[in-house]
């Protein structure tokens, strides 16, 4: 069972559509991992995103599950320390003790770099995190957590992963009556991210 934000190794140029940009083939041929996307896929396949060197280089594809050779989940990266000195990595150091009792993980550029050793972060990078919240996170607790994240040396984008999708902590803490829940079938405006989308 693979989940959104997992990193997978094993995709080859043979799995890439013929009309894909050259940089996609280059990334896949170099053995870079691909990231699992929130989307539907054909049976026996997993929806993935290929990252290029540039921020705008993101390509949606599908990978056969049988091709997966290695999988790294966001939680595997909580304790990985990088020798590089960047705001996103300093933010990670700061937040580790704060999140120590939680089920959390590192995603985005930081997760990609920590898992693969391929430099993906720069001085302006945000830190992307995921917090597994099988039980409802009360809005007051979300506000308290957001206040801590806001002290970090870079912007921190934390997604709350509920049993039904993901919602941005910042949005849930904002007090909005309806928030955007990202699911495999698309994004939905909901009042309660811990309830199944009708």
Task: Tell me the catalytic residues.
Answer: 126, 128
> Mapping DSSP to helix (H, G, I), strand (E, B) and coil, where does residue 156 land?
strand
Q: Residue 77 to residues 112, 114, 128: CA-CA distances in angstroms?
A: 9, 7, 12
CB count within 10 Å of CB 15 equals 17
- Among the listed residues 143, 150, 141, 132, the one whose alpha carbon sits nearest the alpha carbon of residue 95: 150
DSSP 8-state symbol, 131:
E
């Amino acid at each position: 069972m693979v989940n959104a934000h997992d990193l997978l190794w094993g995709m080859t140029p043979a799995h890439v559509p013929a009309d894909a940009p050259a940089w996609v083939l280059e990334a896949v041929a170099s053995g870079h991992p691909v990231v699992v996307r929130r989307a539907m896929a054909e049976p026996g396949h997993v929806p993935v995103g290929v990252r290029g060197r540039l921020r705008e280089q993101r390509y949606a594809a599908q990978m056969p599950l049988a091709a997966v050779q290695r999988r790294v989940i966001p939680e595997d990266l909580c304790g990985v320390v990088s020798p590089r000195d960047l705001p996103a990595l300093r933010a990670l150091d700061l937040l580790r003790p704060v999140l120590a009792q939680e089920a959390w993980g590192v995603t985005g550029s930081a997760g990609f770099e920590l898992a693969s050793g391929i430099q993906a972060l720069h001085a302006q990078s945000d830190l992307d995190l995921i917090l597994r919240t099988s039980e409802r996170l009360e809005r007051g607790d979300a506000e308290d957590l957001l206040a801590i994240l806001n002290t970090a040396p870079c912007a921190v984008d934390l997604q709350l992963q509920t049993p039904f999708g993901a919602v941005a902590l910042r949005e849930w803490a904002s007090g909005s009556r309806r928030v955007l829940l990202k699911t495999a079938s698309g994004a939905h405006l909901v009042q309660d991210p811990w309830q199944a989308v009708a």
